[in-house]
Structure 1
């Protein structure tokens, strides 16, 4: 559980017709490496380097063996002139071996358009046999009105087809269309993520300002206390740290980080961060982005995060993809603004995925 202090101066193991999948990918912290954008705010996985997460298959209907959720999936999202949402599934790479005895994986891709989790929302590709690197080049389509899409989320999961009906979960990606750049239609790689229980954050916030004039300035203090039940990505545990941005400032020098706490899924950070110089009204245009990462020499792996803001989709009159705070995140931010110089407590789940910033 992530404690934050601010101040201002399933898919089941069986792939049934009414199964329920969730969660997804934010990418790896590899912007300086070949294959990644030079922009630190874009988190797109590198197709030539995969990261694995050693987690058992989470299932409400039973656990049909331990599968290493690893690899990536390449797909594109677009909206056609005829009123169809099109998911272009290109390929997967470095999927887990579902049947170690036979060294076999027979993968297929499945999608849902949440919140509809019924059979009519399910789409599937063909099954590719005996390969951990399937190539599909198939499109999955939904007849849906454009104005309805901001309330929907794409859940895309990869499965091993088992002849006995015990299809095995190999990983998933989830994309919210609340603020989505429909001009981005290029094929993109996403790291597959495991199904995990919802991690929650507990925190306190305070909007502290000095003076009552229009030109008064204040500070945002962020106190990162601890996290609990982080995803276990390595046998020895998690080497985690937290990054903080107060958006729209994405400069590297404005980024602050905690120390790395090694070999534990329950790290204690006790780290304070201070951002100053905020004039009255500027906090309404800002967003506090907190992301938790597993530290690796080659690739820092995203574990979860929060975006705390008013969630308007705009900052200083411009449309931005990072102002996508959800209901509980928005309510906490509103309570903080409505109660200056008073502590506001909250309890929020860590997001398993976050829309990449531009």
Structure 2
């Protein structure tokens, strides 16, 4: 049976605990260390359709086991589109993302090369990340024109599925740039979205019987664009680690009044978690509107394996979406580290109701 630890309200301390990045390592003066940004939406707040995509990018990737670092060597680009057609030039640079991570590891970018359609970079972009976690990601390399006074212009991108990548292959890759058809963000269902971070700490408790158990930490950061089901809503978040729906398992955030964009920064801790439980249990997070007479369910999500089964029994609540499953798998692949995503809330029946 899962045991519940006391709820913890964490503010400043978790800001320091939440980042898995250990500083960047630069062995030679030739390498230009990547710049890191906490902004995810800058990936999408730019001009995408103003310039016709053309050209190519030349790069290689490598994983350095002794450093636990992922290296992207950006060599050059060629035959890029001209943002200033009359002068036949652009000011290009290359930016990298790991998706669906988006927020936790952030972006890296090269320096800007002025007035050229054939820039040579010879720069290394680095991520301090475990190989197991890296295999759950897709690398996006995008090329941009830097506009000092306006919006940067998108010049093309390539994507590499790292789950299928042979990391013994360190040769140069020469790929044609392609246009971006649609953003790679999770689709919205109209119920709003939640920014949440989770981590699993294995072997926190060593029992006399020799059974090691750990803890799951769930950090509910904020919600955005919650449905306004009445004139004003007073939202809060409720959590269970299924299949336990007892009052002992339930944890809640505080209620925030009159907002569709609540910032909770509330962490919930569950102990007594074994490694085997990670494929059988499911974290259910539901968002509620606290009304005078009753609470109304606004939406929710379930973080788990999404197999439809729990401890040998078929259950309808083990129904995690691909985005929810991806975050759960990233947590399992990165013990002791926070993993984070912005997930769309969806319509679901609270498992607490289903069990009654």
Q: Could you say which TM-score interval applies, normalised by the shorter chain? A: 0.3 to 0.5
Q: What is the TM-score with the length of structure 2 in the denominator?
A: 0.43
Tell which has more relative contact order, 1 or 2 (C-alpha 8 A, sep 6+).
Answer: 1
Which of the pair has more CA radius of gyration?
2
Q: What is the TM-score with the length of structure 1 in the denominator?
A: 0.43
